[in-house]
Structure 1
């Protein structure tokens, strides 16, 4: 396989992975923001806080991957 074919294949795989991660990020953001400020037990508030921490981490990962894919 030529180097250009290998690079193109890697870019397609990276874009597909990024699309799956972005979809996951959007899902957890939709689920998380609405419930974060509602009332609940201490354990429920801790769970929502952990959920939002995960959202922030996935969001940062998406930003980094989008930059990598854009730069080839």
Structure 2
């Protein structure tokens, strides 16, 4: 795991994600609802402006497109 500082410990029962749009509409996912969304896996190279790289980093998670498909962002 890469981290710029301490990573807080949050239990799955307490974990949540909220997206609030510009008009104040809130979209909320608790842990079970979020993990029920379709996930995808990919391998990417990370490059930092501090001149380091991490090659072949494996990621798995919900894509922004899937997460935000029912969120009206107003862009």
TM-score (norm 1): 0.24
Task: Identify, as 1 or 2, the structure richer in helix.
Answer: 1
Task: Identify, as 1 or 2, the structure richer in strand.
Answer: 2
Larger-Rg structure: 1
